[in-house]
Amino acid sequence: MLTCPPYGSHMPSSLNAADTLVPHQAHNSAVAPARILDLLPGLVAYFGPDLRYRYANQTYARWRGMDPDKIVGRYVREIVGERNYPLIADQLRRALGGETISYDYLLFDNDDQRSVQGSYVPDFDEIGHVAGVIVLVTETCRRDTIDFETARSEAMFAEAFENAPFGRAIVSPDGRIVRVNPRFAAMIERPAQDLLGLGISDITHPDDLESDLRQLNEILAGVRNGYSMEKRYVRPNGTAFSARLEVSAVRNDSGQVTCFFAHVEDITQQREAERRLIEMNARLSLVSEAVRGGSWHMDVASGTFETSQQLARFVAGPEAQPYDLDGFSEHILPEDRAKADLSDLIEGKHDRSSVEYRLQTASGIHWMRCDRRLLRDEHGRPEKLVGVTIDLTEEHERRIRAELEATTDPLTGLLNRRGLDQRLAALPADLACGVMLVDLDGFKQVNDTLGHDAGDAILVEVGDRLRGSVRRDDLVARLGGDEFAVVLVGADIGKLESLAARTVTVLQGRFDACGDSGLDVGASIGAAWSASPLVTQRAVMTRADRALYQAKAAGRGTWRLAA
């Protein structure tokens, strides 16, 4: 056993068979053991279980630039420095556990570094307990003997390590952090100095630790030389961030792992973006499934066109496959295909457009709205077309109903005044028309006597009789109350006169709503003819109204033609 002196002495009181160290001059035939240790070129030190120095030889003291007396009694971290401490302290603890250790490593000394071999030997007492650790360190490659290329390589490595935009760390074989760069420290949100000596379990999310340690152990066992994984690191405040970790092993000539080199990239924002994209795609998928129709795209350069699977199934059923342009166009009704033409977009004349057309599908004809958009390349040239085709049959029908309600008399189903004006305005300007204004005779008396229900029934029947008297393209309208209008589209004066006379007769027939009341309803008619309904519409109506006044003044139940 190597017995250590009290703090303050720089040499042990006994070393082996020699029990007492005596002055050098008292022994001419031998050199004192302490003197022998001081003459060794290697560093010799002795540590107690508390990791404090019990002894340091002169070589060790010179290397540290201190007197031996200033070293003995100090804690190991105070002498070896923060960069060396994690690795050396770990080896000392292993030796205190009874393990003899020998390995090569880099020893940092301010801005200098030395390649050394360290031997850590446990010192057992008489009953087999470890009383301390003897350390012998020999330099295997002095800094001043390293060739220029090696020095430059090391400098380049140090610069790349420190300034890397990603996190980097060097980890000892037992999983303790030896060195980190500023980026890694910023990720963990701890000073780099505070990370030295920590185990990876101290900064790894518990759920990811087992996988990380298992792969590290596989490297130590020679199963692999490195690995990559995604894991979460834990910050001091308890928050975690996701990172992509790549680990590679550094081995010595005998194949033993001397350290692990870790490359760490923070992917928290990437994972968050991916999560948002997944959520967005899920929402779009739900929206897409809820919409009747689908999408399509076209490459302008190649002319390649393809519908989505959903649009193909909408057109032809669940087994349908995506259509090309010709296949899809065949389902557009021939009279609507011009609306679906893509030429202006392909030529870059427009960047977007919206059209409506009818599509023949397995479930019948549907009105579709297609919104198209042009995507250009970096030079502004047309590159791709994208479109969304949505079924708007129900909307189209609602719109038609709304238009009908706005232009149709709700009681009789005839055109109202607004509807008649719109239909007249749509007629060609050179188309001759005859106009009849019809006013019921005796209607007020029936309405007052028999009630409004009877009156409404008479109005409905009048509308039916008028529709039955005219051609399909002629217009019949209820202008209000008991006043009606009939427009003979493309008729000459002779046809107008004939219809006016016939209509008076038709409306003099008995109405069911009158029953046995003895009340009768008839009609007076004023007629006018015009060669152009669009230009002279108001004048024609005024002339017909004057003629109606003349017919009523003549005794009613007759008709008059405006001059």
- Catalytic residues, by residue number, are 482
Tell me which residue of 416, 550, 554, 542 sits closest to 478, measured CA to CA.
Answer: 416
Residue 299 — φ and ψ, nearest 5°? -90, 120
Tell me which residue of 408, 426, 425 sits closest to 417, measured CA to CA.
Answer: 408
> Residue 213: what residue type?
L
Positive or negative, the CA dihedral 7, 10, 15, 20 is negative
As a whole number of angstroms, the distance between CA 347 and CA 124 comes to 91
Strand ranges of the sheet holding 226-234, from the earlier edge strand across to the other edge? 177-180, 167-171, 257-266, 240-251, 226-234
As a whole number of angstroms, the distance between CA 21 and CA 14 comes to 7
Rg of the chain in Å (alpha carbons): 52
SS3 337: coil
Task: Give all strands (DSSP E) within 110-180, no chain letters.
Answer: 112-124, 130-141, 167-171, 177-180
Query: Tokens in use for 415?
Result: 């055109």
> Measuring CA to CA, how many Å separate 458 from each of 54, 237, 321, 439?
125, 86, 58, 13
Residue 441: strand pairing partners? 522
DSSP per position, 414-461: SB-HHHHHHHHHTS-TT--EEEEEEEEESHHHHHHHH-HHHHHHHHHH
As a whole number of angstroms, the distance between CA 551 and CA 503 comes to 14
As a whole number of angstroms, the distance between CA 554 and CA 25 comes to 165
As a whole number of angstroms, the distance between CA 120 and CA 126 comes to 20
Q: Write down the residue that tokens 């087994």 correspond to.
A: 319
Strand ranges of the sheet holding 382-391, from the earlier edge strand across to the other edge? 305-307, 293-299, 382-391, 364-376, 352-361
Pairing mode, if any, of strands 475-480 and 483-489? antiparallel
The 8-class DSSP code of residue 508 comes to T
SS3 404: helix
SS3 42: coil
